[in-house]
Structure 1
Amino acid sequence: MIERSTEVLVVGGGLGGVAAALTAARLGRRVVLTEETDWLGGQLTSQLVPPDEHAWVETDVVSPSYAALRAGIRDYYRRHYPLTPEAAADPVLNPGRGVVSRLCHEPRVAVAVLEAMLAPWRASGAIEVLLEHVPTAVHTDGDVVEAVTLRDCRSGQEVLVTAPYVVDATELGDLLDLGDVEHVIGAESAQETGELHALDVADPLDQQAVSWCFALEHRPGEDHTIDRPASYEHWATHTAPFWPGPQLSWIDVEPVKLGLRDRPIFMSAPTPGVPFDLWTYRRILSADVFRPDSGIRDVSAVNWPQIDYWENPLLGVDRAARDAALAASRELSLSFLHWMQTDAPREDGGTGYPGLRLRPDVAGTADGLAKAAYIRESRRIRAEFTVLEQHVGTEARGLDAGSEVFEDAVGIGHYRIDLHPSSSRTYVDVASFPFQIPLGSLLPVRVENLLPACKNIGTTHITNGAYRLHPVEWSIGEAVGALVAYSLGRGIAPRKVRADAAELAAYHQLLTQTLGVTLQWPDDIRKTRPAY
């Protein structure tokens, strides 16, 4: 076994983990950052999900470090791609012109930019990155985590890393389970949380669907049909109780009003209730952004309702059941692709688009599917403070109330409370106000030196739906990186920072003056009810 020691161990190289590592290093701390795939970036890269962001993402309320990531992605395209003159001059360049985001782009570009952001810190030795390493054990002494054992997925070699602070930025909150840190999975009951949209009875196995995304281009006149997956017949015929029919269909459920929606992959013109087709929804390369002689075609990332896998959960089951669920998710995605290539109704009355072609190079894999499943819901710490629907939901708070103001806020964010279907129910998609991230939601009730930096903070099943997206995860990681750096410098535990007014004020000063983090929305925005 190899042994290493550092000041901060960050396990998980998604956006929260990278932000935590960068921030801690910037504040003078030594960091070991680990990641289970060979790409940093999590949902933005290895899971192939273009950024889901809020309406104010292009303004100065956004964290400067997240803004630098976004600017770096745009600059990468300007420096290295054959853009049209109009696209090159566009200050808000959107390489994919996808509807879902103001910045739809290829995952490998984000990987390159994240690596560039880390590069000087890696060169100085302040950050050491261990790719393709997974945690296998958490070693504790009472309420303190002393070390984490990781396994090198390539060699099988074990690495023991000791650190005074450990950050869990894994996609499923793996360290919480390995270290017996108090946590919650699935859905709480309304009796427990008082939330309007909570279940009547708690259900730990009620967990949001996962999706195994992939990237496609369309080459009309060519045939790129994949082999028929073994489970194709199941997905072509099985209907969940809350769904209008089999998932291999253009017909799905509109998440807010739960009506039926017929949204095909290609539409020649918008139709009532369906303003855009699936192809443009998460398109990450748009051919008309690039010079005609470039050879660059449209590429669209498939993260659509048809590939939401909800039949079995990933948490609260044994490893064999989890692996089976992940395998079934992959089969669903491949079945949907085969259906689109062979059986899908076309606008012209024909059937199938055999010219749909997987882009393994875009996904960074041999088979064309993303490196990892898109995870929407994690284990969540039992925290000193838990964010409830009553703190952020517009219906729960009153339409003009605005979100709760937290005196211990460490960042801001916004997204709808957007829960994808689970094995037991359909979408829960309700409006929320622009909100804050309270420090109390980052502090476990017992363990002193392990902090969450992903979807594993102190939210409920309901509010996780608003706190789980790209910029919020980055802000969580940034706050945690600053918190461990501050705690190391002061020689105090993180919970002491929240409990002591003077320490909290000093930590807030670090966030706002040194890092430029916005802690509170302007009041007119805080009370806004965005239409999306």
Structure 2
Amino acid sequence: MCNTTFDVAVIGGSLGGVQAALSAAQSGKKVYLCEETDWVGGQLTSQAVPPDEHPWIESCGCTRRYRQYRSEVREYYRNHPKADSALRGKKVCPGGAWVSGIAHEPAVAHRILMGHLAPYLASGEITLELHTRPVSAVVRNNTIESVRVQNTAIHVYREIRAKFFLDGTDCSDLLPIVGARYRVGAECREQTGEPHAPEIPRPADMQPCTWVAALELSEEKQLEPMEKPALYELFRSVQAPYAPVPLLSWYGPDARTGRETRFAMFDEEDPVHCGGLWRYRRIIAKGEYTDNRPEVTLFNWPQNDYGFGNLFEDPNAEIHRTLAQQLTLCAVYWLRHDALRPDGGHGYPVRLRPDIMGTASGLAKAPYIRESRRICAHHTICEQEISRECSKGILHRNDSVGVGHYAIDIHPTTQSHTFFYTPAWPFEIPLSAMIPVDLKNLLPACKNIGCTHLTNGCFRLHPVEWNIGEVAGHLASFCIEKRMEPLQVWKTRLADFQTLLVEHGIQLHWDPAQLKGLG
């Protein structure tokens, strides 16, 4: 077993984890980064979820590096050798999706992120190990001394020593390993004062995961047979956990009303919603390429939200992991063979696209994790601070280290099957929510900051996780240079640290003049 010492160790190559590693390397630190799959980038790449963004993202409300990333995505498609004129617009949306202005292929996202890492990998400032996960740690006097990691591909262990350890895993797997205090699932009203929190805590009641698939819309004559999944009849007979409707049907939850609602495949079939589910996360649209390639969407719909158990803090986690994959395969089979069409027929000509995902199956490399473990922080962000139902306006924070916006959006949970949606004000990310109450050299780098089950519903999105990761890398570097702990930075050097963040292009506060149309 090889012992290696670094300035900063980022355990987990999520979207935030990658940004944390980049920030630390840009600050001249020697960085270790590991990732359990073979793609870094988490929800944007290995989990295959296009960016969910707020309406002002084209002009403000994200970090400079995130805006640069968005420009690089568009530049890639403008310069594609097979791009049609439709793809060469100034603000092109690669797939014409209605969930995001830059819905794009996971492989493209991974290529761009690896391009950002490339110069630091070449210089040795970042050491990246794939197929690698944390398994144990040595902690003394509230300080992490080392973390043992395992390369699951070659079954080799390494002991990683660092001055700071950042948890960039999507489920925040490092927290229990190092003995940090954390929360999972739904807190109760007495704990948080949140109006929509349950009366009693429900630690097993989490947002569902989704195992995303890439689907192509094909000509019927081109379709090869699809083998019926072994569990198809089981899932076909299952009722949705949130309403008396079949799970595999055109029904889905409408969190705005608290009832089920009916969806449709294509825009012209859907008179109620802003668009059919096919265009929801479409990444390749008809006519965008001169070779007339078929349309492709990322299949992350109500039908394949897995709400029957959790992938962590659950004795049956591995079983649920397998069942989540099987549910998606069954949902694809249903869509192809049994989904009711408006003309009275059944099924649509779709097939899986393994090449889009970089997998043999056509499913994503990893499940989409909406909710992770969350640190017990010096400040916990609660519903009443950001909900438009509970507060009168934007809460400006003196210790802000970034901004974001998204509605509080909770998919049907795994225990109570509760779903919830309420508009939120644009929010600012407090540094105090990134500082653990216990360990001195541990920082969160993705969805695992001090938020609640409810506020995680809007802090889980791509631009916010990216911002958190960027800040975590800068904070670790600042602490190393100043020989301080994060708590000391918050209490005594906050202005200096915020100045550093602004220099690196991190927006700290919302300017009301930028927020056109905000009621």
Answering whether residue 323 of structure 2 is matched by residue 316 of structure 1, we say no
Which of 186-195 and 231-240 deviates more? 231-240
Tell me how far apart the structure 2 counterparts of residues 505 and 380 of structure 1 sit (CA, whole Å). 26
Partner of 1:445: 437
Q: Say whether the 8 Å CA contact 2:60–2:514 is kept in structure 1.
A: no
Tell me the amino acid that sits aligned with residue 2 of structure 2.
I
Deviation of 1:427 after TM superposition, in Å, equals: 1.3
Q: How does 1:400-439 map to 2 (within 5 A)?
A: 401-422=392-413, 423-439=415-431
Q: Say whether the 8 Å CA contact 2:34–2:128 is kept in structure 1.
A: yes
Q: How does 1:4-23 map to 2 (within 5 A)?
A: 4-23=4-23
Partner of 2:512: 523
Tell me how far apart the structure 1 counterparts of residues 388 and 452 of structure 2 sit (CA, whole Å). 16
Partner of 2:501: 511
Partner of 1:365: 359
Given the superposition, is the C-alpha separation of residues 48 and 447 from structure 1 closer, same or farther in structure 2, using an over 3 Å criterion?
A: same
Q: Say whether the 8 Å CA contact 1:248–1:339 is kept in structure 2.
A: yes
Deviation of 1:297 after TM superposition, in Å, equals: 1.5
Q: Deviations over 1:448-492 (max 9, x none)?
A: 001001111100001000100100000000111110111111011
Answering whether residue 65 of structure 2 is matched by residue 65 of structure 1, we say yes
Tell me how far apart the structure 2 counterparts of residues 218 and 37 of structure 1 sit (CA, whole Å). 28
Partner of 1:184: 183
Deviation of 1:338 after TM superposition, in Å, equals: 0.9
Partner of 1:2: 2
Given the superposition, is the C-alpha separation of residues 337 and 416 from structure 1 closer, same or farther in structure 2, using an over 3 Å criterion?
A: same
Q: Alignment partner of 1:33: what SS?
A: strand
Deviation of 1:335 after TM superposition, in Å, equals: 0.8
Tell me how far apart the structure 2 counterparts of residues 524 and 82 of structure 1 sit (CA, whole Å). 40
**Structure 1 residue ranges without an equivalent (≥5):** none
Deviation of 1:525 after TM superposition, in Å, equals: 5.6
Tell me how far apart the structure 2 counterparts of residues 78 and 29 of structure 1 sit (CA, whole Å). 35
Q: Deviations over 1:195-238 (max 9, x none)?
A: 01111111101000110000000112233442222222222122
Q: Alignment partner of 1:260: what SS?
A: strand
Q: Say whether the 8 Å CA contact 1:244–1:253 is kept in structure 2.
A: no
Q: How does 1:128-277 map to 2 (within 5 A)?
A: 128-222=127-221, 223-268=223-268, 270-271=270-271, 273-277=272-276
Answering whether residue 301 of structure 2 is matched by residue 304 of structure 1, we say yes
Partner of 2:111: 112
Deviation of 1:70 after TM superposition, in Å, equals: 1.1
Tell me the amino acid that sits aligned with residue 379 of structure 1.
R
Q: Deviations over 1:126-175 (max 9, x none)?
A: 11111111111122112001111111121001111100000001011111
Deviation of 1:275 after TM superposition, in Å, equals: 3.1
In structure 1, which of residues 462, 468, 476 is the aligned counterpart of residue 468 of structure 2?
476
Q: How does 1:60-99 map to 2 (within 5 A)?
A: 60-88=60-88, 90-99=89-98
Deviation of 1:263 after TM superposition, in Å, equals: 1.4
Q: Say whether the 8 Å CA contact 1:387–1:460 is kept in structure 2.
A: yes
Q: Alignment partner of 2:74: what SS?
A: helix
Given the superposition, is the C-alpha separation of residues 529 and 253 from structure 1 closer, same or farther in structure 2, using an over 3 Å criterion?
A: farther
Tell me how far apart the structure 1 counterparts of residues 136 and 439 of structure 2 sit (CA, whole Å). 16
Deviation of 1:259 after TM superposition, in Å, equals: 3.5
**Structure 2 residue ranges without an equivalent (≥5):** none
Q: Say whether the 8 Å CA contact 1:215–1:363 is kept in structure 2.
A: yes
**TM-score scaled by structure 1?**
0.94
Tell me how far apart the structure 2 counterparts of residues 465 and 448 of structure 1 sit (CA, whole Å). 27
Tell me how far apart the structure 1 counterparts of residues 86 and 352 of structure 2 sit (CA, whole Å). 29
Given the superposition, is the C-alpha separation of residues 330 and 61 from structure 1 closer, same or farther in structure 2, using an over 3 Å criterion?
A: closer
Q: Deviations over 1:78-123 (max 9, x none)?
A: 22342122421x1111111111000010000011100111111111
Tell me the amino acid that sits aligned with residue 218 of structure 2.
R
Q: Alignment partner of 2:139: what SS?
A: strand
Alignment length (residue pairs): 517
Tell me the amino acid that sits aligned with residue 289 of structure 1.
E
Cα RMSD (Å): 1.5
Partner of 2:39: 39
Deviation of 1:269 after TM superposition, in Å, equals: 5.0
Q: Say whether the 8 Å CA contact 2:303–2:331 is kept in structure 1.
A: yes
Partner of 2:49: 49
Tell me the amino acid that sits aligned with residue 432 of structure 2.
G
Tell me how far apart the structure 1 counterparts of residues 78 and 91 of structure 2 sit (CA, whole Å). 11
Q: How does 1:353-392 map to 2 (within 5 A)?
A: 353=348, 355-392=349-386
**TM-score scaled by structure 2?**
0.97
Tell me the amino acid that sits aligned with residue 412 of structure 2.
P
